[in-house]
Structure 1
């Protein structure tokens, strides 16, 4: 796998992170929670080992129940509201980072679409990437 050395953060500069490691995955997520938190039809996300991410600044967060029945905590900047990452109880070693929060989002390209069963009619995936109704195994 490729190793990445990237940085990112929120729009106002209050929160910053550095990432140095390999990706667990990079996806377009079409679940309703990503739609609501992004204000669009999907969110582009990369997952990485939390030990490979150094975060500075204090986020605000809220918790909801994912389709696994377990907690998902979404983190965002308390100043500008930029969505940054999620913690998923069923995958505690990973952080699910918003690709758009990277200083150079073009460095990571999602390899699939997930939760396509929830995609909106005005934002159906129309590219050659694999598409999954829910989270693939």
Structure 2
């Protein structure tokens, strides 16, 4: 499974299986992606790699790093110390995003009030879905 930024300068590969696929409503993800929510996959550090130039890293808050292409600005991933050993890659950056179906909404308490959802997925309070 492969992914890339808009301009193609930053590329990555993922070895299946993915650990999770979730919709995130936290303000940080919304701001990084300029979207009302975003969807990402979680993969173990041993199951993914950059295959071209590595992206720039932005430390958005204590213990959280977000990456983006230095050339075109595409957001690609985030990593949290709370979920060590896992990289979270944005599904929209995957070459075949339709192959990933979310199973959970995280940080649901931050969902924008005008965003109406009818998918009946379970919700989790806070961005750390490992808390259950």
Normalised TM-score (structure 1): 0.87
Q: CA deviation at 1:58?
A: 2.1
| Superposition pairs of residues 29-44 of structure 1, within 5 angstroms | 29-44=24-39
Q: Count residues with an aligned counterpart.
A: 128
Q: 1:22 aligns with which of 17, 33, 54?
A: 17
Unaligned runs of 5+ in 2: none
Question: Aligned-residue CA RMSD in angstroms?
Answer: 1.3
Q: 1:112 aligns with which of 104, 107, 113?
A: 104
Distance 1:130 1:114 in 2: 9
Unaligned runs of 5+ in 1: 1-5
Q: Secondary structure at the match of 1:123?
A: coil
Say whether residues 1:54 and 2:46 are aligned partners.
no
Distance 1:71 1:24 in 2: 21
Normalised TM-score (structure 2): 0.90
